[in-house]
Structure 1
Amino acid sequence: MNEESVKDVFSRFALYGDLESFKSFGKGHINNTFLSTWNQAGTKVRYTHQRINKNVFKEPEKVIENIRAVTHHIYEKARLQKDDPIGSSRRTLTLVPAKDGLFYYKDDEGEYWRTYLFIENASTFELMDNPVLAYKVGCAVGTFQKQLSDYAGPPLHETIPVFHNMKSRYVQLDTAASDNKAGRLDSVREEFDFLQKNRSRGMILTDGLESGKLKKGITHNDTKLNNVLFDDATGEAICLIDLDTVMPGTVLFDTGDLIRTASNTGAEDERDLSKVGFNTDLFRALIDGYTEKAADFLTDYEKSLIAESGRILTQIMAVRFLTDYLNGDVYYKIERPSHNLDRARTQIKLMQSMDGQWDRIQNIVHDLCRKNTAASAVSGTAKI
């Protein structure tokens, strides 16, 4: 896009003041994002503007409807917390309406745009490196789930059908291997065979939803570490961001992805696999924070699958990354030819590291669920 086209998009939203500057922003795999700075009566105010990727989100209007419903619900809850030093306006993303009253703008090329108020003095982290941070992240995800556990608004749309459905993801992997469009299958036989060997175990959450053993709630569906925003001054977790995949599902999708990203000693795309492993100290702190906030609304069956959810979400991402690599890198943004393969190998290494410590991992979950369930019963409910 040229400069004038970008400015035209900005002009379609209910913003006032003078545009001072804008630039490309963020590291997301999916959407294109700009950060703009406006002079509003002498005050600098910034906004993020995103073009929604229609290849991923086939019905962008439904994505926006979901985000609007969830952020409004969370904001109303946060507004009741009178003693919150962070402030309710920073406890969730704030959509800015377009001038026609909708919360998106559709340009002449059929592209969908949305605008958020930029949350100032806040940052994200790419790598978990200490238990204090892990505890805070666990609290953030538990709080998000707690905030939405009593949502009674319009039903959310399933914006990406069967998004965390392991059966569907394996069908996609099988098809990618059969088609072998990029001619890469022979070079990834070891990874492909490992994932096939683990196919049955990975179906537990999908089977649980289909049978009704797992209840459906509202889930973020992408609770990786860098989707938790932290206050720069206090270090406190403020809120979860990147809400495009908010939709119905089991809370264990969120719990599992949290475990996958926050307990990994390496980056998601680390090429040196010796740096990748499952850190049980970080995991303990993470689950302590998570169950402190979530213990009172999780069922016993959900609690019993917390550890398994981490392994399953790691597995599903390995399947997705390897599928994209076999298809010729058509879904995720890449920075090098082997990028998706590196991502897949990292997830597989993390699964193997978990397997080597499985009894310890299960005992940690059991002990912390027992501790925080008892604490929640004494206090009445976990504070949100």
Structure 2
Amino acid sequence: MELNLDSEVLEAYGYTKENTKITQIGTGLINRTYLLSPSIEEKKYILQNINTSVFKSPQAIANNLRAIADYLSITSPDYLFIKPVSTAKGEEMAHIKNEHWRMLPFVPDTISLDVLADPKQAYEAAKQFGKLSRLLNKFDAKTLEPTIPGFHDLNLRYEQFIQALNRAEEQLKEDAKTEIEDALAHQYILDYYVSYLHRDDFPDRVMHHDTKISNVLLDSGTNEGICVIDLDTIMPGKFISDLGDMMRTYLCAFSENETDLNKVKIRLPYFEAMIKGYLSQMKDILTETEKELILFSGKYMIYMQALRFLSDFLSGNEYYPTSYPTQNLDRVKNQFKLLHEIAVNEKELQDIIEENLV
């Protein structure tokens, strides 16, 4: 889809509507994303409008990316870290009519996937997310600002679920009776998480926090991992955020929108590939406690996402886009089925982890 942007946005970066082809791209639900192809140079760029209803402090994103880019330029100068291009005035973002825009270099000969089609892709993606964490192992995560406070705080998500439950209309509670019972029955996942939360060997690290397959660039010819993208949610967190999100989104051939629960199965080859890729980078960095929590990371993220979908359903579908009234409830059922599949396959999954920790 080709379209025009406000000319002031282009002018902030030294371009005009006359010398720039603009195409809207991407499937993300948060930021609007465009491909810029200036006729006056060979390079292409990604231009994004930052959604300030989600990211309340765009400057925090800019500060985090600058700090990490400066660190990696010294410690790992050959690593491809996609940092924003400065405006014509030397600023990290353009502020146009109360909107925030940033430009990023376009990486040629790469692809980003919406769906995994081969275990090699899972391996390469997990390797790239692990590599970024490894390269930032000695970076002081406490110096980064949370760009979405409480984003992966399971305590907070459980509290929000209880609040939504207490406020919900009786009919919604009746419709979600089984799922509410499931959410309460799985509270032990929260208790287990809290029991580890303040251990010294469960440290805060620099985490990406959104490790779906579309946030990795792969070589368009070989599918080899090139780099990690969509860095808005880089902030302090626990390693279980990144690895758990990979488990939640890589292990099943179908997304959380699948309503045929018989299709919600774990693909063991993808799990093995993901674990191999991640541990190829992180095995020597993870603490003993973190190694104990590798499989738990999947339970943690799946349960948290189930709580978020359920909270939204009970609140009248205020947050997640839906195409029919019970879609969030169907997503909850999907996530609890995936959680069940991890439990059913736990021994085999843990055996794969142990083999790759040797």
Same fold (TM over 0.5): yes
Deviation for aligned residue 1:57: 1.3
In structure 1, stretches of 5+ residues that fail to align are 81-87, 371-384
The code of the aligned residue for 1:302 comes to E
Partner SS state of residue 155, structure 2: helix
Partner SS state of residue 22, structure 1: strand
Per the alignment, do residues 97 and 51 of structure 1 end up closer, same or farther by CA in structure 2, a change over 3 Å counting? Answer: same
Q: Aligned residue for 1:35?
A: 35
Which of 156, 160, 164 does residue 176 from structure 1 map onto?
164
The code of the aligned residue for 1:98 comes to T
* TM-score where L is the length of structure 2: 0.91
Q: CA-to-partner distance for each residue in 1:219-277, whole Å, 9 max, x for gaps?
A: 01111222121110221111111111110111221111112111122123222222211
Partner SS state of residue 328, structure 1: coil
* TM-score where L is the length of structure 1: 0.85
Per the alignment, do residues 141 and 18 of structure 1 end up closer, same or farther by CA in structure 2, a change over 3 Å counting? Answer: same
Deviation for aligned residue 1:55: 1.7
Q: Aligned residue for 2:63?
A: 65
Q: d(CA) in 1 for partners of 2:85 and 2:22?
A: 17
Q: CA-to-partner distance for each residue in 1:163-192, whole Å, 9 max, x for gaps?
A: 111110011111122222696332222122
The answer to whether the aligner puts 1:216 opposite 2:204 as a matched pair is yes
Q: Aligned residue for 1:379?
A: none
Q: Aligned residue for 1:366?
A: 354
The code of the aligned residue for 2:46 comes to T
Per the alignment, do residues 341 and 13 of structure 1 end up closer, same or farther by CA in structure 2, a change over 3 Å counting? Answer: farther
Deviation for aligned residue 1:129: 3.4
- Tell me if the contact between 1:30 and 1:333 (Cα under 8 Å) persists in the aligned partners: no
Percentage of pairs with the same residue: 29
Q: d(CA) in 2 for partners of 1:308 and 1:269?
A: 23
Q: d(CA) in 1 for partners of 2:141 and 2:86?
A: 20
Q: Aligned residue for 1:382?
A: none
- Tell me if the contact between 1:182 and 1:326 (Cα under 8 Å) persists in the aligned partners: no
- Tell me if the contact between 2:201 and 2:288 (Cα under 8 Å) persists in the aligned partners: no
Partner SS state of residue 49, structure 2: strand
Q: d(CA) in 1 for partners of 2:171 and 2:90?
A: 49
Q: d(CA) in 2 for partners of 1:74 and 1:163?
A: 25
- Tell me if the contact between 1:138 and 1:286 (Cα under 8 Å) persists in the aligned partners: yes
Residue correspondence of structure 1 range 115-134 to structure 2 within 5 A:
115-134=103-122
Per the alignment, do residues 71 and 348 of structure 1 end up closer, same or farther by CA in structure 2, a change over 3 Å counting? Answer: farther
Partner SS state of residue 187, structure 2: coil
Q: Which moved more, 1:360-369 or 1:338-347?
A: 338-347
Q: CA-to-partner distance for each residue in 1:7-36, whole Å, 9 max, x for gaps?
A: 321221255895332132211121222222
- Tell me if the contact between 1:30 and 1:332 (Cα under 8 Å) persists in the aligned partners: no
Per the alignment, do residues 353 and 92 of structure 1 end up closer, same or farther by CA in structure 2, a change over 3 Å counting? Answer: same
Q: Which moved more, 1:218-227 or 1:271-280?
A: 271-280
- Tell me if the contact between 1:134 and 1:282 (Cα under 8 Å) persists in the aligned partners: yes
Q: Report how many residues are paired.
A: 356
- Tell me if the contact between 1:29 and 1:332 (Cα under 8 Å) persists in the aligned partners: no
Q: Aligned residue for 1:6?
A: 6
Deviation for aligned residue 1:205: 3.6
Q: Aligned residue for 1:192?
A: 180
- Tell me if the contact between 2:201 and 2:290 (Cα under 8 Å) persists in the aligned partners: no
Per the alignment, do residues 267 and 10 of structure 1 end up closer, same or farther by CA in structure 2, a change over 3 Å counting? Answer: same
Q: Aligned residue for 1:85?
A: none
The answer to whether the aligner puts 1:103 opposite 2:79 as a matched pair is no
Q: d(CA) in 2 for partners of 1:74 and 1:346?
A: 39
Per the alignment, do residues 337 and 30 of structure 1 end up closer, same or farther by CA in structure 2, a change over 3 Å counting? Answer: farther
Residue correspondence of structure 1 range 13-24 to structure 2 within 5 A:
13-14=13-14, 19-24=19-24
In structure 2, stretches of 5+ residues that fail to align are none
Which of 320, 334, 338 does residue 346 from structure 1 map onto?
334
Partner SS state of residue 44, structure 2: strand
Q: d(CA) in 2 for partners of 1:121 and 1:195?
A: 44
Q: d(CA) in 2 for partners of 1:181 and 1:267?
A: 28
Which of 226, 251, 255 does residue 243 from structure 2 map onto?
255
Q: d(CA) in 1 for partners of 2:178 and 2:92?
A: 46
Partner SS state of residue 108, structure 2: coil
- Tell me if the contact between 2:8 and 2:96 (Cα under 8 Å) persists in the aligned partners: no
Q: Aligned residue for 2:278?
A: 290
Per the alignment, do residues 344 and 50 of structure 1 end up closer, same or farther by CA in structure 2, a change over 3 Å counting? Answer: farther
Which of 258, 262, 270 does residue 274 from structure 1 map onto?
262
- Tell me if the contact between 1:23 and 1:35 (Cα under 8 Å) persists in the aligned partners: yes
Q: Aligned residue for 1:159?
A: 147
- Tell me if the contact between 2:82 and 2:105 (Cα under 8 Å) persists in the aligned partners: yes
Q: d(CA) in 2 for partners of 1:271 and 1:24?
A: 30
